[in-house]
Amino acid sequence: MNCIPIMINGLPGNVARIMATSALRDERFSFVPFSLTGEEITQGEVSVDQTTVTLLKPSEREDKINDILGSYPGFICIDYTHPTAVNDNAKFYVAHKIPFVMGTTGGDRQDLERTVKNGSVPAVIAPNMAKQIVGLQAMLEYGANTFPGLFKGFSLQVTESHQQGKADTSGTAKALVACFNQLGTDFEISNIEKIRDPEIQKENLGVPEEYISGHGWHTYTLKAPDGSALFELKHNINGRQIYVSGTFDAVIFLKSKIDTNDFEQKLFTMIDVLTAGK
């Protein structure tokens, strides 16, 4: 397989930097040395693993994108930017016919899906790119569809802890709450406890010091009305390396769809990626 050119957007952010560092060391990819960034970023470029990457603000990218497309034909974008940028970035990708993997959560997800469906290029969109968590979500969705109402009458408590800079409520938590509600609970998304205080994370939850700046700890607790039964589901992720493998699998999945012209549906999820690779 020829190297797939990829452009990783969201630098100088931490997740985008991890993705870029990993991509530079992965022989399956060639690295496009540009990155979409926020208007508030004062840097004009960053260095990643001794490679200089030019940062493009929203006010600059229209002037540069045609040159980039000419120099790196067929590249695929990976988006780890900011929830406030999700919809504008997706419209930018679709307008310029750039396939993309959207790893950024938040934004108007219905509008995001409409943008892709109305465009002409495929995209993978998922609230979580960690394959194991995606598989866990798929299992819960199966259970919810197969045994609806199984936990009727049970109460649900949800906590999700992430680094202080994560602005939105976890998309994964929202997706799992939907499964639990189908299983019979009655839980509002607004009742998810969102923990962003580093002291609470360290002292109350036990998040290791070195992962305070990058972690995702989730706990879902189901309790019977009389307190006689309790079920608890946890998934605690330290660092961001787990997201790299899933994201790169999504890129390869998109490349395969493009090469075979097999993207009539255009909008794909990580479930599609996992199913294709099984």
65, 77: one domain? yes
**Residues 247 and 231 both lie in one domain:** no
Residue 136 and residue 120 share a domain = no
Cα separation, 131 vs 113, whole angstroms: 21
Q: What is the CATH number of the domain that holds 103?
A: 3.40.50.720
User: Do 9 and 19 form a contact (C-beta atoms < 8 A)?
Assistant: no
Nearest-angstrom CA–CA distance, 4 and 169:
33
Q: What is the extent of the structural domain holding 119?
A: 4-125+241-277
- Pair (24, 116) in one structural domain: yes
Statement to judge: residues 155 and 198 lie in one domain: yes
Query: Which residues are known to be catalytic?
Result: 162, 166
Do residue 18 and residue 71 come from a single domain? yes
pLDDT digit string (tens) for 147-199?
A: 999 999 999 999 999 999 888 899 899 999 999 999 999 999 999 999 999 99
Q: Clarify whether residues 136 and 232 are in a common domain.
A: yes
Tell whether 228 and 261 lie within a shared domain: no
Cis amide prior to 12 (ω within 30 degrees) = yes
17 shares a domain with 33: yes
How many domains, the chain? 2
CA dihedral 251, 256, 259, 260 (to 10 degrees): -150
Q: Is 177 buried (19+), middle (13-18) or exposed (0-12) by CB count in 10 A?
A: buried
pLDDT in tens, 6-36: 999 999 999 999 999 999 999 999 999 999 9
194 and 229 inside one domain: yes
How sure is the predictor about 262, in pLDDT bands with cuts at 50, 70 and 90? confident
Q: Which of 275, 257, 277 is nearest to 267 (CA)?
A: 257
pLDDT attached to residue 36:
98
Task: Say whether both 172 and 223 belong to one domain.
Answer: yes
